[in-house]
Structure 1
Amino acid sequence: MAQPPKYRSELHLAQLLPNLITFSAMCAGLTGIRFAIFGQFEAAVGMILVAAVLDGLDGRIARLLRSESEIGAELDSLVDFVNFGVAPGLIIYMWGLHGLQSGGWIATLIYASCCLLRLARFNIGNRPNLLEVGDKPASSNFTGVPSPAGAMLALLPTYVGFLAPSAGVLPPPLLALYMVLIGGLMISRFPTPSFKSVTFYAENVRYVIVGFVALVAALLTFPWETMVIITLGYVGVLLVSLWQARKDRRRTSAD
């Protein structure tokens, strides 16, 4: 009895683009570790910044091309752990924590573990049937600091160190405490702003484009100065969000 012909599904190359970007981000993060091993810390941190940019592109391109998939979401989460948990932790350890020996390594492990927990909680938040009570605030906010932002915060001492090498590295005990603090921010439950929800009027598009071009130009010309300003600005936003959350909590308790 003749068997019916087998039909093979076809995919356009464009549908693979989001996953290709995800793998490119992973390559950037791992290359950052390689640069750190050879003591090229500016290049190492630069690779993490490249990975962060690629991380911001893959999901948006997937939605634009309507090529979202479960495997793509899982790949994105796994790569985020490599790029924003493992790689920054190792870079910081080799840059300024190795002198603390076991203490520095413990701080690195705590930071990476917090990043992993943050990503796991985010994944659960995207599956309503598995959602933990109180784990997902309003859609305009995240719960805790997102892992890419956590990595940018963790790397702040390196930006300052690149700008003022004569000042030396932050004392290892303080750097270790700082890494643990950033890890704690990632697994905290206070709401942090999601810039995905930012909107603007259509007639202001030209200003947004000019501002974006100015930001890119600043990053290419004065990378570490710009990263310090961006990171400190984000810290300011976090403080405002924390103040607002406490204010709302008091108001709710009073009612």
Structure 2
Amino acid sequence: MSLQKNQNQNTNRGIYLLPNLLTTAGLFSGFYAIIASINGAFEPATIAIFVAMIFDGLDGRVARITNTQSAFGAEYDSMADIVSFGVAPALLAFSWALSSLGKLGWLAAFIYVACAALRLARFNVQTSTADKRYFQGLASPAAAALVAATVWAGVDFNIDGHEYNIVMAILMALSGLLMVSNFRYSSFKSIEWKGKVSFIMILAVVLIFVFVAAQPAQVLFAVFLGYALSGPITTFKVEKEIKLEHVIGDDSDADFDDK
């Protein structure tokens, strides 16, 4: 009996390689974005954040498909996310635009990082009870994508970020507040990916890829700005009387109608 117990303990001591390898790749991308931002290589830094998003989307799905989910993997993923989608976008924005604001600049960046950490902590404790169709608050990868796409578009148009430092500070603060808000955002998990679609739908997907490839910075900025605005817009459309708990507060206070 004790031998079997020891064997089970030895089995539990290991960690699954594939999903954690993908998480590590995402962490590396986020760390690279930090280094690139410090060195003033803003476009590679923004691309690295989007690469981190791809790995972040893959690790959880691979873990579920291969039945290699674990508590260690979930915690490791959160630690990697705070680097890739919290610290990296904040430092990117600070290096590109906010540093000229002095104390106000790094405080705006810190608000974003703190909200990203709070968003990830809230997500972890609500995993078992949350509605899988929606995210409560703007997901940290989407917020990071909005910041990164803004910088990328600015670099693409040869804009000096320090000339728009106030605008960037407001964007950082609003992105952070949206992450800890009660606004509901579609998780796209209710989409039936295995179902059949029309030929027109496939053609539309091809055209989307063409647009992204032609003008990636502008298209990604428009997409993630629209997604960031979709939460408040949906809430104001659904709720006849907006209350404070619909915007921010404990998740138990936010009682949205599903009309």
TM-score after normalising by structure 1: 0.82
What corresponds to 1:144 in structure 2? 137
Equivalence map 1:20-99=2 (5 Å): 20-99=21-100
1:103-140 per-position Cα deviation (integer Å, ceiling 9, x unaligned): 10111111100000000000110255xxxxxxx4x431
Give the Cα–Cα distance (whole angstroms) in 1 for the partners of residues 147 and 235 of structure 2. Answer: 19
What corresponds to 2:155 in structure 1? 162
How many residue pairs match? The answer is 242
Contact 2:42 2:152 in 1 (8 A): no
Which amino acid in the other structure matches residue 48 of structure 2? M
How far the C-alpha of 1:195 sits from its partner, in A, is: 1.2
Contact 1:218 1:226 in 2 (8 A): yes
Which amino acid in the other structure matches residue 202 of structure 1? G
How far the C-alpha of 1:201 sits from its partner, in A, is: 7.6
Give the Cα–Cα distance (whole angstroms) in 2 for the partners of residues 113 and 225 of structure 1. Answer: 27
Contact 2:132 2:189 in 1 (8 A): no
Q: Which runs of 5+ in 2 are unaligned?
A: 244-254
What corresponds to 2:104 in structure 1? 103
Whether 1:184 aligns to 2:184 is no
Give the Cα–Cα distance (whole angstroms) in 1 for the partners of residues 206 and 78 of structure 2. Answer: 29
| Structure 1 residues 196 and 33: CA distance shift in structure 2, 3 A | same
Counterpart pick for 1:238 among 231, 243, 251: 231
| Structure 1 residues 200 and 34: CA distance shift in structure 2, 3 A | closer
What corresponds to 2:249 in structure 1? none
How far the C-alpha of 1:19 sits from its partner, in A, is: 0.6
What corresponds to 1:131 in structure 2? none
Which amino acid in the other structure matches residue 217 of structure 2? W
| Structure 1 residues 231 and 32: CA distance shift in structure 2, 3 A | same
Contact 2:97 2:161 in 1 (8 A): no
How far the C-alpha of 1:141 sits from its partner, in A, is: 1.1
Which amino acid in the other structure matches residue 230 of structure 2? V
Question: Which aligned segments of 4 or more residues in structure 1 are displaced greater than 6 angstroms?
Answer: 3-6, 10-13, 248-253
1:29-71 per-position Cα deviation (integer Å, ceiling 9, x unaligned): 0001111111110000000000011101110010000100000
What corresponds to 1:195 in structure 2? 188
Mean alpha-carbon deviation: is it higher for 60-69 or for 241-250? 241-250
Which amino acid in the other structure matches residue 85 of structure 1? G
Pairwise CA RMSD: 3.2
How far the C-alpha of 1:159 sits from its partner, in A, is: 3.0
| Structure 1 residues 185 and 201: CA distance shift in structure 2, 3 A | same
What corresponds to 1:132 in structure 2? none
Which amino acid in the other structure matches residue 229 of structure 1? A
Contact 2:98 2:165 in 1 (8 A): yes
Q: Which runs of 5+ in 1 are unaligned?
A: 129-135
Equivalence map 1:123-142=2 (5 Å): 123-127=124-128, 136=130, 138-142=131-135
Partner SS for 2:135: strand
Give the Cα–Cα distance (whole angstroms) in 2 for the partners of residues 212 and 170 of structure 1. Answer: 37
